[in-house]
Amino acid sequence: MRISRRRIALGAVAVAAATLAAGAVVEASSPNWTPVPNAQTKATGIAQPNALPPELAETILVQGSNALENPSGNVTRYGYYNDGASVPAPGTVTEATKSEPDKNTYLVMRGLTGADAGYEYGTHFLFQGHEGGPAGSITRVNLDADASHKVTLLGTTGAASSVDGSTWYPFSRKLLVTGEASDAKGGVWQLNPNPGGPVDKLAAIGFGGYEGVQADSDGNIWLVADVGGAKGTVNTKARQPNSFIYRFRPANKRDLTAGGKLQVLQVMRNGAPIVFHPGQADADIQGADIAALHTAGLSFDTHWVTIHDSAVDGPAAFDANALAKTKSGTPFKRPENGVFRPDGKFSEFYFTTTGDTDITTQAGTANGGFGAIFHLTQHGPSANSGKLDLFYRSEAATGGFDNIQFLTRRTLVAVQDYGDTAHEQLHALDSGFAFDIRSSHPTPKRLLAEGRDASATMDSALLGTPGYQNDGDNEITGFHVSNGDPGVKGLLGAKAPRPWENKGWRVFWTQQHGDNVTFEIVPADDRSSDGRSHRGHR
């Protein structure tokens, strides 16, 4: 249904999400929106459209086939490497490797340049790293530009160093990107928002499967890492918790190359830290500690433990995951991303865990087999202690969470990245869910039911074929809500988002794999005849 401008203005009048019936209207900001009732089904050979609430619509910003204005080597298009055709020739499986555009970062900036010295690139930009494939690349989508100047390659992180997370670091005015590799190919890099500059790896942060990255108001950098653990000998469908939450405290926030201290989050239970047990995967998978972490109503003391100080330990590359274990950091089941509560205090941090992405996991719901959302509270962003509690424990149908973002001051959105195994088991594709953070028993409300484009449908059919390298199905990633403010007051968490209210806030997401399309979500009655929204440009 379409909504009037008056109804948009009254968007704050709503009932808490936990008390809503499945089809009731949910307050997010303006407009109100009606939850999508079901996930889109997965069926062999069948493509599916994306499903949004009737009050909302999506518009395509860029897709995998968009050519880069400044191609380099095998990085020539937004979402495809230059190693094959967009689709295999009949009777073959040779296809271009999909680059997998990942986390989005939106900025409104003046004076940015590109490959064409005589072109005015505008002021609205969307940045993303690209996961997977033969090289890690970082692109900038020029939202105000014409087709030939739409996508600019900013740089690469080296062979096989794929890029996952990204964020803007206003203190040094650098873009930060993370590489999820758990060996020396991973890490954190910084670069300028214009092409042609250096892509510098920050040695003081080391490597450790980093994915999510956020900065707080003190200049600390929070990192959420994903390193898959060992499968159990008995629990063969589950994995041992093996990933950590980190905080980097720079020696000089205006120059991150000056080093600093990397810390790991330690969670206490019964007076002792919850830790990783080498060679005891089965004991950890179904152990009392991990069950307690996934029990509603329990609260745990936390501490930040320094595992590497560049002033003492020097600039040599180091394995943060290994040091976190040595220093008694607390492992989780594949943490993916985190975000601060948008109240300007940077004292509350929510982060997702993906879990085992296998519906037959022996960990089950009770031991986090389907993942969760955790809530960390501190007195301030640089505090050395705090409290951790469970915000939401996923069931099979709501598991596999990856990106997390606040849609409004009290509406938290987490999106699934389940993968082909779980899609087959559930006969369902991924969804994005909204939660009311005021609820002690939050109920997920489906904001997005992702479909599957024709390219991903074909990719899914080719899985397992010798010589075929791409993933099947689409995945939700890069869900991002921002007004593009590049200053410290524009950090995610500094202000309450107000999308769709003519205040510059915009909502983006990427349908990874297949056609690799990045969308903007807009009010259904606010699109021009060409399908584009101009609300965010005003």
- Positive or negative torsion for Cα 413, 529, 148, 133: positive
CB 168 within 8 A of CB 486: yes
Residue 312, number of CB atoms within 10 A of its CB: 9
Of 520, 527, 483, 405, the closest CA to residue 141 belongs to 520
Interval 101-125: pLDDT, tens: 999 999 999 999 999 999 999 999 9
Of 50, 81, 47, 49, the closest CA to residue 65 belongs to 81
Paired strand residues for 60: 519
> What confidence tier does 133 reach under pLDDT thresholds 50, 70, 90?
confident
Give the mean pLDDT of 270-282. Answer: 96
Residue 228 has pLDDT above 70, yes or no: yes
Interval 382-425: pLDDT, tens: 999 999 999 999 999 999 999 999 999 999 999 999 999 999 99
CB 381 within 8 A of CB 216: yes
Residue 518 gets which letter from DSSP? E
Residue 297 neighbours by CB under 8 Å, 6+ apart: 389
Interval 471-508: pLDDT, tens: 989 999 999 999 999 999 999 999 999 998 878 999 99
Interval 16-66: pLDDT, tens: 333 334 456 776 655 689 999 999 999 999 999 999 999 999 999 999 999
At residue 8, what is the residue type? I
DSSP string, 138-200: EEEEETTS-GGGSEEEEEEEEET-----EEEETTTTEEEEEE--SSTT-EEEEE-SSTTS-EE
Between CA 77 and CA 96 the distance in angstroms is 10
Residue 1 has pLDDT above 70, yes or no: no
Residue 5: per-residue pLDDT = 31
> What confidence tier does 87 reach under pLDDT thresholds 50, 70, 90?
confident
Residue 468 neighbours by CB under 8 Å, 6+ apart: 93, 95, 462
CB 432 within 8 A of CB 446: yes
Residue 19: per-residue pLDDT = 32
Is the N-terminal amide bond of 31 cis, ω within 30° of 0? yes
CB 17 within 8 A of CB 434: yes
Between CA 362 and CA 356 the distance in angstroms is 9
